[in-house]
Structure 1
Amino acid sequence: MTPLTPLAPLVRLCDVGHRFGERVVLRNVNFTLEAGGCVVLTGPSGAGKSTLTRIMTGLLRPQEGLAHINVRRVGFVFQEPRLLPWRTALQNVLLPCDEQQPEARRYALEMLEAVGLSGAASLLPGELSGGMRQRVSLARALAVRPDLLILDEPFTGLDGPLREEMKALIESLVGAGQTGAGMAVVQVAHHHQDILSHAGAQFRLERGMLTAMPSMLL
């Protein structure tokens, strides 16, 4: 990843293409994400959404085109919490941080409090409900103070009220700017009802092509 440059877009993809063997995943993708922006990425399973987000974060170099990545820190929230079962909630939140820094520990505790788990810092994942584990994963993503937050269908594994609760929590923390000004969000969503209310644009990836959707569909 390149050093963060003030005023430059966080992500700019120019005619990006990528394939796995003979299968073309991305073709002629053009995309720009500004600091503080919130966009939604939809498309059928296997369309290449994960490949595209990996390119956006600098984890994968595209085979064709140019990817200008102006991001220092990325936070990820996946479908599964992906917590280490032998580490406490606080220790899991601290995983991507420098645990020896008092400031990192203090901020990790603040994030646990922000997601409503201040009393669960010393509990292991096996002692937490599914919704609580997903909230720990959100706290972990925010603890790195990301420039870019990737939400990869974080509501998929939750049912009913838990799904709505997690969505409302993310909207309150991210939409209100409580996690820091300038943080951009890319949400991968499969269902219309999961789309964050403050999303500014929606894109659909299908057959390798990225298409901007009309704002009325948000």
Structure 2
Amino acid sequence: MTLLRLENVRKRYDQTPALHDIGLHLEAGEFLVLIGGSGSGKTTLLRAAAGLERVTAGRITLRQDIVDDPQATLFVPPAQRRLGMVFQDYALWPHLSCLDNVATALPARTPNRLNRAQKMLERMQIGALAQRRPARLSGGQQQRVGIARALVARPDLLLLDEPFSSLDPHIRDQLRNDIRALARETGTASLLVSHDPADVWRLADRVAVLEAGRIIQLATPETLFTRPATPHVARFSGAQGGFPAVPAQVGSTTGVRLGDVFLPAPLDHACAPECIAYFRPQDVLSQPACSTGPGLPAILDHCVFEAGAWLAYWRVAGLLSLICSRETQKPGAEARLTISGDKIFLYPRDKE
């Protein structure tokens, strides 16, 4: 069942456009991550879904009911949309205990109201902190209270606005696991705004990438990684690049000239005479400098040891930027670099 649908949604602030003809749907139980740089429109989109922003044009439907349609002069305020929301800055009441903060999400006459709030705190592993006020909690503990408050009323839609951005890395990992587990247990659909690639790989069923107020790719994490639609998506998924490349053909073999060397590659993504190439460090293979066959003669600039592997940075004739490769052992001073053609992403130069 489609829980949330945005159709041709636009948003302007005075004369400044923030969202351009956004079309998006979220299925019941699905986890959708919105990513993009600062000013891309991802938070505006989330706030529009929550009812914290009114759209300029288009339509938003929640559970088959229209909740925002300027043309029909329809708007349902946030309090009536029956959803949960987790904020970046926790947004807890400072004068209330953790237990009371969570209980505020339930109507005053709810049976066993405090008991339900206590059980949700225990589910978030902070039941022992129920009587503490937010000022006596760490950032991670405060965010757990915020998540408990968002989920205690059992909403079918959960909106999360960069909830992990101010937390330590190990706390982020714990909360990702907790949120994903709770979403699966309860069947709650989740819409998460993030700029962190780890949220995509660990949480998302699908990913919507925004750039300048437009969705430039909507795909599964696997498709995002294997077929990034733009240089921005390629960089987000860990690729290095912006290397000038010229489509070419040697005999029956298609490929690109990178620097002074021809590399075999499919040209499906090359739709202009001049392209830019992207590829990931793990797809760059360094061979001994004396090896034969196609490859980029390279001189080692420097290397660093990171997370169990060496990252080697190479200078290649004709390229202004260094090429990075991931090595199992510290490499020598010279090498010949090869890149599998299906691991090279090519884009028109004007897309950079």
Pair 1:144–1:172, CA change in 2 (3 A): same
User: Which structure ranks higher in relative contact order (CA pairs < 8 Å, sequence separation ≥ 6)?
Assistant: 1
In structure 2, runs of 5+ residues without a counterpart are 66-80, 226-352
1:69-108 alignment, distance < 5 Å: 69-70=62-63, 72-108=81-117
1:190 matched to which residue of 2? 195
1:3 matched to which residue of 2? none
Pair 1:102–1:27, CA change in 2 (3 A): same
Deviating 4+ runs (over 6 angstroms): none
- Judge conservation of contact 1:99–1:105 (CA < 8 Å) in 2: no
RMSD, aligned CA: 1.8
The number of equivalent residue pairs is: 207
1:134-213 alignment, distance < 5 Å: 134-174=143-183, 177-178=184-185, 180-181=186-187, 183-195=188-200, 197-213=202-218
Pair 1:196–1:154, CA change in 2 (3 A): farther
One-letter amino acid of the counterpart of residue 26, structure 2: L
- Work out the CA distance in 2 between the residues paired with 1:196 and 1:89: 31
Q: Deviations over 1:97-117 (max 9, x none)?
A: 213323332221111010001
- Work out the CA distance in 1 between the residues paired with 2:216 and 2:156: 24
Displacement of 1:78: 1.4
Could you state the TM-score of these two structures normalised by the residue count of structure 1?
0.87
- Judge conservation of contact 1:155–1:194 (CA < 8 Å) in 2: no
- Work out the CA distance in 1 between the residues paired with 2:91 and 2:51: 21
1:62 aligns with 2:55: yes
Displacement of 1:21: 0.9
The higher radius of gyration belongs to 2
1:19-30 alignment, distance < 5 Å: 19-30=12-23
Pair 1:50–1:159, CA change in 2 (3 A): same
SS of equivalent residue, structure 1 residue 195? helix
Displacement of 1:214: 4.2
- Judge conservation of contact 1:89–1:121 (CA < 8 Å) in 2: yes
1:42 aligns with 2:35: yes
- Judge conservation of contact 2:200–2:207 (CA < 8 Å) in 1: no
- Work out the CA distance in 2 between the residues paired with 1:208 and 1:197: 25
Pair 1:144–1:197, CA change in 2 (3 A): same
- Work out the CA distance in 1 between the residues paired with 2:27 and 2:199: 22
- Work out the CA distance in 2 between the residues paired with 1:14 and 1:210: 13
- Work out the CA distance in 2 between the residues paired with 1:161 and 1:201: 24
- Judging by fraction of residues, say which structure has more strand: 2
- Judge conservation of contact 2:33–2:199 (CA < 8 Å) in 1: no
In structure 1, runs of 5+ residues without a counterpart are 1-6
Pair 1:198–1:75, CA change in 2 (3 A): same
- Work out the CA distance in 2 between the residues paired with 1:37 and 1:103: 30
- Work out the CA distance in 2 between the residues paired with 1:104 and 1:199: 32
- Judge conservation of contact 2:106–2:113 (CA < 8 Å) in 1: yes
